[in-house]
């Protein structure tokens, strides 16, 4: 049986590792990935089209870190603090930022038709901080999501994901947590792998990948390697799946070689210190203990 702190650490490590692993092959097709990585992408390394260092977060987890640090700073979710943290991030010259996030955070320009994954990719810290109150986690996920994404599908994805993950962090079986919250995502989930080569960045892909990974129960590493190998928006999909599986399996199920890379990450592109993931082990514990 894993402890609360182990599950919390699993969420943040899983988020960062999935993000970094997926960034090595982001937007590539499955065949191209298989040709270059016959055994799958299994090592955190420098490179990818963004030219990041091993273990470095992309925009996905830089925003998640911004949320996590804001929660710890305020002792709870403070709407103004979190919103400003995201705006500050958008002003920090990030090396990657999605169109929906950029337009909303820089210009207050919202696209009601965007069903992109840019809100779902960052909200895992809410599940850790509010694991004792999954309903509140879901409500706050909608507030957080509306800083950038306002479509109904993104609301449904955020509510489903953060509620189920909060229950997992609290100790519920992952399959049961997914099953218990299907009402929040009223779109049939059948445990199959989606075709991520179409509508790249669609939030529905990420939800279906979480559903598949929980149902398949292949373990943390094999599940993440499979998700990354599908291609498409591989960093974001793997960050979302990685956070969920990290909570489900606990930090000790995540290979030590991956955690060591994250702990010693020295990000490229002269990024501000708040987006460095090297303290996620301690940050996760502070999040888990935040609300007593």
DSSP-derived 3-state class of residue 95: coil
* 58 labeled binding residue: yes
CB 248 within 8 A of CB 168: yes
- Where in the chain does DSSP place strands (E)? none
* Radius of gyration in angstroms for the set of CA atoms belonging to the chain, rounded to a whole number: 17
Q: How far apart are CA 209 and CA 69, in angstroms?
A: 27
* 233 labeled binding residue: yes
Paired strand residues for 47: 52
Q: How many CA atoms lie within 13 A of 43 on its CB side?
A: 7
- Residue in 147, 158, 173, 80 with CA at minimum distance from that of residue 125: 158
* 235 labeled binding residue: yes
Q: How far apart are CA 229 and CA 203, in angstroms?
A: 18
CA distances from 285 to 6, 9, 152, 217, 292 (A): 8, 7, 32, 25, 12
CA distances from 223 to 32, 40, 237, 243 (A): 19, 11, 12, 12
**Would you say the C-alpha torsion 238, 22, 84, 156 has a positive or negative sign?**
negative
> Angle of helix 234-249 relative to helix 59-74, nearest 10 degrees?
50
* 148 labeled binding residue: no
Residues sharing a CB contact under 8 Å with residue 98, sequence separation 6 or more, in sequence order: 59, 116, 118, 201
Q: How far apart are CA 28 and CA 21, in angstroms?
A: 13
* 108 labeled binding residue: no
Known binding-site positions: 58-60, 233, 235-236
Known binding-site positions for Mg(2+): 58-60, 233, 235-236
């Amino acid at each position: 049986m894993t402890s609360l702190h182990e599950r919390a650490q699993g969420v943040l490590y899983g988020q960062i590792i999935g993000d970094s692993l997926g960034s090595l092959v982001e937007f590539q097709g499955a065949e191209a990935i298989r040709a270059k990585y016959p055994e799958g992408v299994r090592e955190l390394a420098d490179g990818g089209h963004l030219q990041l260092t091993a273990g470095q977060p992309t925009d996905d987890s830089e925003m998640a870190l911004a949320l996590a640090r804001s929660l710890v700073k305020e002792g709870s979710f403070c709407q103004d603090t979190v919103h400003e943290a995201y705006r500050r991030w958008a002003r920090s010259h990030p090396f990657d930022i999605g169109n929906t996030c950029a337009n909303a955070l820089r210009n207050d320009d919202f696209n009601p038709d965007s069903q992109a994954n840019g809100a779902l990719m960052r909200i895992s810290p809410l599940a850790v901080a509010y694991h004792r109150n999954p309903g509140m986690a879901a409500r706050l996920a909608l507030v957080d999501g509306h800083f950038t994404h306002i479509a109904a599908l993104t609301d449904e994805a955020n509510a489903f994901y953060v509620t189920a993950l909060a229950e997992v962090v609290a100790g519920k079986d992952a399959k049961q947590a997914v099953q218990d919250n299907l009402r929040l995502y009223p779109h049939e989930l059948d445990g199959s792998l989606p075709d991520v080569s179409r509508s790249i960045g669609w939030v529905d892909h990420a939800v279906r990948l979480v559903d598949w990974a929980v149902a398949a129960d292949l373990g943390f590493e094999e599940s993440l390697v499979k998700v990354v190998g599908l291609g498409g928006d591989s960093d974001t999909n793997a960050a979302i799946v990685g956070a969920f599986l990290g909570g489900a399996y606990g930090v000790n199920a995540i290979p030590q070689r991956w955690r060591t890379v994250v702990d010693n990450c020295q990000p490229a592109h002269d990024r501000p210190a708040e987006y460095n993931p090297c303290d996620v082990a301690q940050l996760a514990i502070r999040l888990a203990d935040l609300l007593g």
